[in-house]
Amino acid sequence: MEWKKVLRQKKIIGILIGLFFFHIFFFLYTMQVENGQDTAESDIAYMKEEQEKYIARFHESVEEKVKQADSMSVISIFSQTDSFSSRNLERTKEDFKVLLPVQPKVFYDKFLREFFSYSALNGIVVLCGVVVAMALIDENKSGLRSMIFASVNGRGRLVLEKAAALLLWAFIITVCFYGGTLTASTIFFQGELSGCLNLPIQSLSMFSSLPWRVGIGAFLLIYLCYRWMLLFIIMIIVWTLLYSIDHMLLAGGTAGVFGILAYLFYRLVGSSSPLNILKYCSLWYQVSGNGFFTEYKNLNIFSYALNKNSVIIAEWLFLVLLFLGLALLVGNYRYPCISAMGRVKRKLLHISKKVQSFQAGFQEKLSLPGMEYYKVLISQKGIVVIIFVIVVLVYQTDFNSVQLSGKQEMYAAFLDKSMGIPDKESQQEIDDLKKLLKEVDEELYDAFLKNEKGELSDWDLTQIQRKHESYEQHRNFLELLNEQTTYLKTLKQEKNIDGWYVNVYSYNHLLDDGAMLSNLFLIMGIVLLCSGIFSCEKKSGMLPVIRGSVNGRFGIFQKKMQVAFVLTFLLFLTTAALEITSVAVVYGLKGLEAPVQSLSKFSFVPVRCSIGVFFAGLYIMKAMMMFAVAAFTCMLSARTNQKFAIGMSFVLCIPELLVMIGFGFFKYVSIVEVLSVAPFLFQIKNVAVVAAASLLFVLIGVQSVRTGYKKWCVT
Amino acid sequence: MKKNKRMILLLALCIVSCVISCADTGEKISTENTQTTGMGLDLSAMKYQQDTDAQPNFINSKVTKSDRGYYFWSPTGTFSAMMFYDIQSKQAVPLCNRPDCDHLNNDCNAYYKSIFAPGEGDGFDVMNYVQFYDGSLYVIGCDDEDYVNLYKISADGSSRERDTRLYKADFSATEESASKDWSGWVSPFVCIHRGYAYFVDNREKVPKLRRIKLGGTETEMIYEAVGTQSKVYRMEAYGDYLFFQTSDYTNYTEENPKPDGGIYVYELKTGKVRLVKKDVIATYAIADDMLYYFLDNTIWSCSLVTSKENLLVKDVCGMDFSIDEQYIYIFDKESATLETYDKKGKLVGSVGDKNLTGYYGGCDSQYLFITGSTAEVQHGTASKEVTTEPVTMEELIAEDKSFMGIIELSELQKGNGKWNYFFYSKYQTAD
Cβ atoms B368, B409 nearer than 8 A? yes
* Local confidence band at A301 (pLDDT 50, 70, 90 cut-offs): very high
Q: Where is average pLDDT lowest: A333-337, A411-415, A506-510, B315-319?
A: A333-337
Nearest to A527 by CA among A395, A620, A677, A652: A652
Alpha helices in A246-307 (DSSP H): 248-268, 276-280, 283-288, 291-294
Q: How far is A80 from chain B (nearest CA, A)?
A: 10
Query: Out of A84, A270, A600, whose CB is closest to B176?
Result: A600
Q: B300 and chain A: CB distance < 8 Å anywhere? A: no
Q: Is the pLDDT of residue B30 over 50?
A: no
Q: B229 and chain A: CB distance < 8 Å anywhere? A: yes
Find which of A46-55, A90-99, A259-268, B317-326 is predicted with most confidence, using mean pLDDT: A90-99
* Residue A602 pLDDT: 85
CA atoms within 13 A on the CB side of B2: 0
> Tens digit of pLDDT for each residue in B120-140?
444 445 567 899 999 999 998
> Tens digit of pLDDT for each residue in A376-396?
888 888 899 999 999 989 988
Cβ atoms A6, A135 nearer than 8 A? yes
Distance of CA A702 to the CA centre of its chain: 31
CB contact under 8 A, B91 and A74: yes
Give the integer Cα–Cα distance in Å for A366 and A360.
10
Query: Residue B233: beta bridge partners?
Result: B245
* Residue A164 pLDDT: 93
Give the integer Cα–Cα distance in Å for B356 and B371.
10
> Tens digit of pLDDT for each residue in B332-359?
766 667 788 888 888 887 776 665 666 7
Q: How far is A292 from chain B (nearest CA, A)?
A: 16
Query: Which of A57, A74, A77 best probes binding to B when mutated, by most B CB atoms within 10 angstroms?
Result: A77
Cβ atoms B69, A76 nearer than 8 A? yes
Give the integer Cα–Cα distance in Å for B300 and B198.
27
* Residue B417 pLDDT: 62
Q: A457 and chain B: CB distance < 8 Å anywhere? A: yes
Q: How far is A78 from chain B (nearest CA, A)?
A: 6
Element (H, E) at B22: helix B2-25
Q: How far is B202 from chain A (nearest CA, A)?
A: 8
Query: Which of A90, A280, A405, A599 best probes binding to B when mutated, by most B CB atoms within 10 angstroms?
Result: A405
How many CB pairs (< 8 A) connect A and B? 153
Mean pLDDT value across residues B160-175? 88
Burial class (CB in 10 A: 0-12, 13-18, 19+), A17: exposed
Query: Residue B131: beta bridge partners?
Result: B138
CB contact under 8 A, B205 and A400: no
CB contact under 8 A, B99 and A68: yes
Chain B residues within an 8 Å CB radius of A464 = 252
Query: Out of A296, A406, A467, whose CB is closest to B205?
Result: A406
Q: Which of residues 171-190 of A touch B (CB under 8 A)?
A: none
Nearest to B200 by CA among B218, B225, B217, B180: B225
* Residue A395 pLDDT: 86
* Residue B272 pLDDT: 93
> Tens digit of pLDDT for each residue in A17-49?
999 998 899 888 888 877 765 556 667 778 888
Give counts: helices (H), strands (E), chain A: 35, 2
Q: Is the pLDDT of residue A484 over 80?
A: yes
Q: How far is A240 from chain B (nearest CA, A)?
A: 36
Cβ atoms B87, B69 nearer than 8 A? yes
Percent of chain A with pLDDT over 90: 38
Cβ atoms B118, B137 nearer than 8 A? no
Percent of chain B with pLDDT over 90: 25
Nearest to A653 by CA among A620, A684, A629: A629
Nearest to B265 by CA among B286, B280, B243: B243
Alpha helices in B26-168 (DSSP H): none
Cβ atoms B192, B173 nearer than 8 A? no
Q: A267 and chain B: CB distance < 8 Å anywhere? A: no
* Residue B89 pLDDT: 86
CB contact under 8 A, B172 and A88: no
CB atoms within 10 A of CB A268: 11
Give the integer Cα–Cα distance in Å for B185 and A443.
26
Mean pLDDT value across residues A635-657? 78
* Residue B373 pLDDT: 63
Write down how long chain A is. 715
* Residue B422 pLDDT: 60
Q: A707 and chain B: CB distance < 8 Å anywhere? A: no
Nearest to A678 by CA among A585, A629, A605, A608: A605
Nearest to A633 by CA among A380, A392, A260: A380
CB contact under 8 A, B174 and A508: yes
CA atoms within 13 A on the CB side of A525: 30
Q: What Å distances lie between residue A202 and A144, A207, B353, CA to CA?
A: 53, 5, 49
Give the integer Cα–Cα distance in Å for A287 and A696.
39
CB contact under 8 A, B69 and A68: no
* Residue A249 pLDDT: 73
Q: Is the pLDDT of residue A601 over 90?
A: no
Q: Which of residues 200-229 of A touch B (CB under 8 A)?
A: 209
Q: A303 and chain B: CB distance < 8 Å anywhere? A: no
Indicate the pTM of the whole model: 0.83
Nearest to B424 by CA among B381, B388, B375: B388
Q: How far is B169 from chain A (nearest CA, A)?
A: 5
For residue A263, which amino acid is it? Y
Residue A427 carries which DSSP code?
Answer: H
3-state secondary structure B293-336: EEECCEEEEEECCCCCEEEEECCCCCCEEEECCCEEEEEECCCC
Residue A379 carries which DSSP code?
Answer: I
CB atoms within 10 A of CB A276: 19
Reported ipTM: 0.81
> Tens digit of pLDDT for each residue in A659-669?
766 666 677 77
* Residue A661 pLDDT: 61
CB contact under 8 A, B257 and A76: no
* Local confidence band at B4 (pLDDT 50, 70, 90 cut-offs): low
Give the integer Cα–Cα distance in Å for A50 and A196.
18
Residue of chain A with shortest Cα separation from B108: A272
Q: B359 and chain A: CB distance < 8 Å anywhere? A: no
Query: Out of A68, A398, A407, whose CB is closest to B184?
Result: A407
Cβ atoms A415, A590 nearer than 8 A? yes
Q: Is the pLDDT of residue B271 over 50?
A: yes
